Amino acid sequence: MQRKILFNVTGDDSLTNRKMIRGNVTNLFNLNNVKYQWANKLYRLMMENFWIPEKVSLFDDKRAYAELTPDEQKAYDGILSFLVFLDSIQTNNLPNINEYITAPEVNLVLSIQTYQEAVHSQSYAYIIESIIPVEKRAEIYDKWRTDKVLLERNKYIAEIYQNFIDNQTDKNFARVLIANYLLEGVYFYNGFNFFYNLAARSLMIGTADEIKYINRDELTHCVLFANIIKEIMAEDDTFFSIDEINQMFEKAVEQEIHWSNHIIGNNVSGISESSIEQYTKFIANKRLKDIGLPKLYEGFEKNPYQQLENIADTNGAGSVKGNFFEANVSSYNQSSAIEGWDEI
């Protein structure tokens, strides 16, 4: 892989020659000449999702937190710790990916995602400072130092990202893209579901509202990387190894189930180790389908948390449906040259 030139005076901005990676563009943002139609639609949707964490009231959650069972508090704290890691590493790593994407319209969307990941980090800080007792706050940020299960999860994704930074090969970049897709499409969702489960029981409603905004953003990020992967597959059918994609999915599912059982397990009303497995494999099958690949897990076609759809509804629009159980890329369009913004 070769980083794109910041200002490429020999670049060719014609749409017929534009590619997702390894293209030769000037890197000027002429948004009246767009090849990837979905990117500008997604950009507009993501811009409409603007929100401010502090606008959500967490006043009642501080009292409700004290009323949670010890197991519920453990899960609440641990999931927050993992979410802090996920959005921190995304904020830091997305610019590394953006340096190798040679479609200006997609570069813009990745830049918006980077901004949104930073907002998510601020939202977790707001939740922690508003709800968690002072003496427990440092434990949430440092939980990976004492929790081996969490550390292994964090290390796995971080090492994939770091390997590409250290060695920019095609294989390492392919792994980074799949890892991003897994992070956005699989890693968040048992945690999100935990907060919606509490809200369904009239607990931590402010936190659930905050998570809805984050959830809505993460859905667009999932769609973004699904589209990037599909475009590269269409342009170069040898770039990704299907066997490696399946192996990465299997590892991600294994870790997600192990972590969710470790931090939630059978200790929270409405969630069980059985439902965690069913839901994680259901989500993984769906994410594979969304990039045009066969499912890995037979018999896991049903969402065990269907009753929480109303709680999880984020009022999405466009190609991203309003709740995370049904988010997909069904409106994905094969690349075609589009002349002019008005045609989008």
Q: What is the pLDDT of residues 182-221, one digit of tens each?
A: 999 999 899 999 999 999 999 999 999 999 999 999 999 9
Distance CA 101, CA 18 (A): 11
pLDDT bucket at 30, cuts 50 / 70 / 90: confident
Q: Which of 36, 43, 40, 50 is nearest to 116 (CA)?
A: 50
Report the alpha-carbon distance of residue 183 to residue 79 in Å, rounded.
14
Instruction: Report the top-level CATH class of 15-331.
Output: mainly alpha
CB 321 within 8 A of CB 328: yes
Closest CA to 339 of 17, 34, 25: 34
* Cα separation, 308 vs 197, whole angstroms: 7
User: Model confidence over 120-131: pLDDT tens digits?
Assistant: 999 999 999 999
Token representation of residue 226? 């699904």
Of 36, 100, 124, 279, catalytic: 124
The number of CA neighbours under 13 Å toward the Cβ of 17 is 8
Catalytic annotation present for 100: no
Strand partners, 338: 34
Whether 339 has a pLDDT exceeding 50, the answer reads no
Question: Which CB contacts under 8 angstroms, 24+ apart, belong to 82-85?
Answer: 82/150, 82/153, 82/154, 82/187, 82/191, 82/259, 82/263, 83/120, 83/124, 83/188, 83/191, 83/214, 84/121, 84/124, 84/140, 84/141, 85/144, 85/150, 85/154
Question: What residue ranges in 7-141 does DSSP mark as E strands?
Answer: 33-34
* The token pair that represents 266 in the structure block: 């059978």
More confident residue, 330 or 258: 258
Q: Which of 22-31, 155-164, 305-314, 317-326 has the highest mean pLDDT?
A: 155-164
